[in-house]
A and B are shown apart, each in its own frame.
Chain A
Amino acid sequence: MSAKLVQGYEVVIGFETHAQLSTQSKIFSRAPTAFGAEPNTQACAVDLALPGTLPVMNMGAVERAIELGLALGSHIAERSVFARKNYFYPDLPKGYQISQFEIPVVQGGEVSFMLGDEKKTVRLVRAHLEEDAGKSLHEDFIGQSGIDLNRAGTPLLEIVTEPDMRSSDEAVAYAKKLHEIVTWIGICDGNMQEGSFRCDANVSVRKPGAALGTRREIKNLNSFKFMQQAIDYEVRWQIEEIEDGRAIQQATVLFNPDTGETRAMRTKEDAADYRYFPDPDLPPLVIGREWVERVRAQMVELPWVMAARFVRDYGLPEYDAATLTQSMAMAAYFEATAKACGQPKLSSNWIMGEVSAFLKRQQIEIGDKELPSANVLGRLILKIVDGTISNAIGKALFQELCDRSRSWAEDFATIDSDLEAIIEAKGLRQMNDSSALEAIIDEVLAANAKNVEEFKAGNAKAFNALVGQAMKASKGKANPAQVNAVLKSKLE
């Protein structure tokens, strides 16, 4: 693997990602999971660990774990066990977190992605189900913290990789790919600001070939930008320490976006001793083959599977297919457009070109009213194909449609007649009347004697210049093929 070195050191990164699962209710209680409610209004007796309360498992959380496992080619454990991780913290109401320890529900698997034009694969160790903790609010109370347990009991999947990444670029690319997958299959809303997708990076450095160095864990990286900054800073810091002859101490560190630095958290001296044991309140989680197959059957088509189909069924280049499957909305827009015009490659060109540019310019998403529907775009492309308008006019017409930002009837007949109307009104129709074209071309030849000379002297470029002049003179309405033909005949 191409491990690019930093000051002669190899960087080794592993990830632990906490993805909040998009369930309605908590993992072990019936309280709602919605974000941003009044403090402790979504923490029921079970979430508060009131005496006598017991956990009851949410099927929706298990289903989402199965979906992730299927998406990443992991083994779904037929039998997995919930364990108690014991430690005291005010945002941990029971004094233990229900998690999975020895036997997680999702085992193995991998995430593949492109880093530049190099394909990278990161192996997963596991993904296990667990409950989220509450939040400690340090502001507004002098010398005290306020505890909000609304988040306590929100279902999490902790997704753990092997230390397979060798640079901050690769780490960020992995995180983006994982983010793309969990949001694509819809098990997590992926909102990093709200903490729905939190990454911890285990970072160490070593001389090539040496044993793994001591790692430090950067906690709660909640944006891709900070992720890169934090890892780069941490790598530099560790190398300096080693170069200055100091050994790295295993530690948990936090990234401070303001200073751009990482700082070791106050270490809990007994953090190492969580006294895990199987939770006696919860019998083993058993997942039958048939359930896994049921989930598989209901699952959405995965991005890479869809891309392969685009190549196979629509004959698109791999690049187009990969680009169009970066979001489900874009992929759907492409398929609808291709269906409306029967021209997959042209549809792809238009979406990656004009459409993307428009979206970027307006900073809007596919599905926004300002963007002509896929059917409209499809019929517009058809107008180009059947020679009603030139490609250049097509682009102008597309812009025209965007500016109108009107809602279109979706049946082809209406769309077609509407397009016709605009083409007429704006006089955009392509000129196919050859006598008119010949007149224009005679003028062009007369006005560009120099080009004619050069062409006759064997300069092909000069011919293209004449075509351009002719098109210009026809205000783009001439049919380029026809122009070619007529010019040729007149010049021979």
Chain B
Amino acid sequence: MTELHHLGVAELAALLQSKQVSAVEVATRFLARLGGNPHNAFLDIDSEVTLAQARASDAKLAAGSAGPLEGVPVAHKDVFVTKDLVTTAGSRMLNGYRSPFDATVVARLRQAGMVTLGKLNCDEFAMGSANENSAFGPVTNPWNTAFVPGGSSGGSAAAVAARLTPAATGTDTGGSIRQPAAFCGITGIKPTYGRASRYGMVAYASSLDQAGPMARSAEDCALLLSAMCAPDLDRDSTSLDVAQEDFSAALGHSLQGLRVGVPAEFFGEGLAADVRRAIDAALARLQALGATLVPIGLPRTELSIPVYYIIAPAEASSNLSRFDGVKFGHRAADFADLTDMYKKTRAEGFGQEVKRRIMTGAYVLSHGYYDAYYLQAQKIRRMIADDFQSAFARCDVIAGPVAPTTAWKLGDKADDPVASYLADIFTLPASLAGLPCMSLPVGLGDGGLPVGLQLIGNYLQEAKLLNVAHQFQLATDHHKQQAGAAA
């Protein structure tokens, strides 16, 4: 039998349900791989907590009361608060913080039977595209440890690519699931805004934050997404009141007659040649599977960069005001008075990128600038959302690159925030519109680093996206390719 850690969620679930392996065996196997914290992917591991959950899962399996994913391990991005494990959101501000409750998404996956392996490294408060903004050190890319894994869910992507966990949770505000999934050669999906509860997610930008699964295949993502997404009407006022769906049930449809919209703006001169080659090949493959390619336009793609980097920091500057050294988290050791305590606490607790976004956000909301920046950005945001609606009048899904390039070298963009903002150009539009979108591996670029294809669907069309990805993965094996460093 293949080594357990090489198996995906569906395969492990089958073995566990048929009692060919126990949850404790599986958990033990994966815990063993976490020794020395490869790629600095994990921020907290507690084998006692994990094994206790595994034992509980075995009991349920024995009692026949098991959930669909009973005993399958999962690791959570550190922006999901957890009762039994430390939650830092990658920030010194929350060093050692223990939440009195579990995030809804964490609780739901546990209800489905998943066993928590630990908490995953990420950019501080999910702000970043390379996972270099974590207060606890960068995560390295399993395909080449000299390169970044992408961000902000870099730990999640690296852990799945390196076979440290069969699946992970991530969050996507402007591309934080799709871009690291692309950089690490795995599959990840961000559902429609409001599908997954935000309760227990440390907030970055409330009108954009969405949770989603990251795994090795669309099939595995479907299993997790079905468990993650359900109304949370009592806890999250922005949670959509739409019935829970079994996304796995919808994976069997042929792509015959599928209209795939290809936005010209995603294929401009900014797109690296090797990425373009891989994307073109993937689109050709979709055609071969019966899909037709429809040229479409998303004319405000470039505007999505300033619009996003006004709206997200504005919301963040307010969301992060609660970190003031009074109720929880870091407090400066020496200060003259209350105001000084605030200023030193926040100066010490926050990293550079977080401070930059807090400053930018406070500025665009400040007296005399609100209309010119925040309000104008909100209006263009609606125009961007409308552009998608006119596009979806002519196609079923939209396909294009996730990022202009493959992963870059550690440190390359560390001192040039604007450069990494620009690299988010293809993931920001769908985020601003709140649309479901995903990334799946479609081969390697020149540097032997993975390229991700982005699929964008209309609201609540997650099943359609997952089906397209699954059909693609049935016909190809890019998603089975293994990160060199993961042997």
A contact set with B: CB distance below 8 Å: 45, 48-57, 84, 86, 88, 90, 93-96, 147, 149, 272-273, 275-277, 280-283
Say whether B318 faces chain A, with CB atoms less than 8 Å apart.
yes
Residue numbers in A under 8 Å from B207 (CB-CB): 280
Say whether B224 faces chain A, with CB atoms less than 8 Å apart.
no
A51 contacts B99, C-beta separation under 8 Å: yes
B94 contacts A51, C-beta separation under 8 Å: yes
Task: Write the nearest CB–CB distance from B81 to chain A, whole angstroms.
Answer: 4
Given known A-B contacts A49-B327, A86-B318, A277 and B374 have beta carbons under 8 A apart: yes
A282 contacts B237, C-beta separation under 8 Å: yes
Given known A-B contacts A88-B321, A280-B206, A52 and B234 have beta carbons under 8 A apart: no
- In chain B, positions 211-264 with a C-beta closer than 8 Å to chain A are 234-238
Closest 5 CB pairs of A and B: A95-B321, A280-B207, A275-B365, A280-B206, A52-B200
A478 to B237, CA, bound (A): 77
A57 to B235, CA, bound (A): 10
Task: Write the nearest CB–CB distance from B77 to chain A, whole angstroms.
Answer: 12
B314 contacts A95, C-beta separation under 8 Å: no
A96 contacts B374, C-beta separation under 8 Å: no
A53 to B319, CA, bound (A): 11
Task: Write the nearest CB–CB distance from A262 to chain B, whole angstroms.
Answer: 24
Nearest B residue to A275, CB-CB: B365
B contact set with A: CB distance below 8 Å: 80-81, 87, 89, 94, 97, 99-101, 103, 198-203, 205-207, 234-238, 314-315, 317-318, 320-322, 324, 326-328, 338-339, 342, 362, 365-367, 370, 374
Q: What are 7 A-B contacts defined by CB distance under 8 Å?
A: A51-B94, A52-B99, A52-B101, A56-B234, A94-B322, A95-B321, A273-B366
A358 to B395, CA, bound (A): 83
A193 to B298, CA, bound (A): 60
Given known A-B contacts A45-B100, A56-B237, A282-B237, A51 and B202 have beta carbons under 8 A apart: yes
A94 to B201, CA, bound (A): 15
Residue numbers in B under 8 Å from A276 (CB-CB): 365, 370
Given known A-B contacts A57-B237, A277-B374, A52 and B322 have beta carbons under 8 A apart: no
Residue numbers in A under 8 Å from B206 (CB-CB): 280-281
B327 contacts A50, C-beta separation under 8 Å: yes
Given known A-B contacts A90-B338, A275-B365, A52 and B81 have beta carbons under 8 A apart: yes
Interface of A is mostly: loop
Nearest A residue to B201, CB-CB: A52
A52 contacts B237, C-beta separation under 8 Å: no
B237 contacts A283, C-beta separation under 8 Å: yes
B202 contacts A53, C-beta separation under 8 Å: no
Given known A-B contacts A52-B81, A273-B366, A84 and B234 have beta carbons under 8 A apart: no
Residue numbers in A under 8 Å from B327 (CB-CB): 48-50, 93, 149
Q: Give the residue of A54, A88, A96, A273 whose beta carbon is less than 8 angstroms from that of B237.
A: A54
Given known A-B contacts A275-B365, A277-B314, A147 and B326 have beta carbons under 8 A apart: yes
Q: Give the residue of B236, B318, B342 whose beta carbon is less than 8 angstroms from that of A275.
A: B318
* Best-surrounded residue of B99, B207, B237, B367 (most CB of chain A within 10 A): B237
A48 to B101, CA, bound (A): 13
Task: Write the nearest CB–CB distance from A492 to chain B, whole angstroms.
Answer: 89
Residue numbers in B under 8 Å from A272 (CB-CB): 367
Given contact pairs A50-B100, A84-B318, A280-B238, a sample of 18 additional A-B residue pairs in the complex whose CB atoms are under 8 Å apart: A50-B81, A51-B202, A52-B81, A52-B103, A56-B234, A56-B237, A57-B237, A86-B318, A88-B321, A88-B339, A88-B342, A90-B338, A95-B324, A96-B321, A275-B317, A276-B370, A277-B314, A277-B365
Q: Give the residue of B80, B199, B328, B338 whose beta carbon is less than 8 angstroms from that of A54.
A: B199
Nearest A residue to B93, CB-CB: A51
Given known A-B contacts A45-B101, A96-B321, A277-B318, A51 and B342 have beta carbons under 8 A apart: no
Given known A-B contacts A86-B321, A272-B367, A281 and B238 have beta carbons under 8 A apart: yes
A49 contacts B322, C-beta separation under 8 Å: yes
Residue numbers in A under 8 Å from B365 (CB-CB): 86, 275-277
A56 to B198, CA, bound (A): 12
Task: Write the nearest CB–CB distance from A232 to chain B, whole angstroms.
Answer: 34
Task: Write the nearest CB–CB distance from A116 to chain B, whole angstroms.
Answer: 44
Residue numbers in A under 8 Å from B318 (CB-CB): 84, 86, 95-96, 275, 277
Residue numbers in B under 8 Å from A51 (CB-CB): 81, 87, 89, 94, 97, 99, 202-203, 322, 328
A55 to B319, CA, bound (A): 13
Nearest B residue to A94, CB-CB: B322
Task: Write the nearest CB–CB distance from A233 to chain B, whole angstroms.
Answer: 30
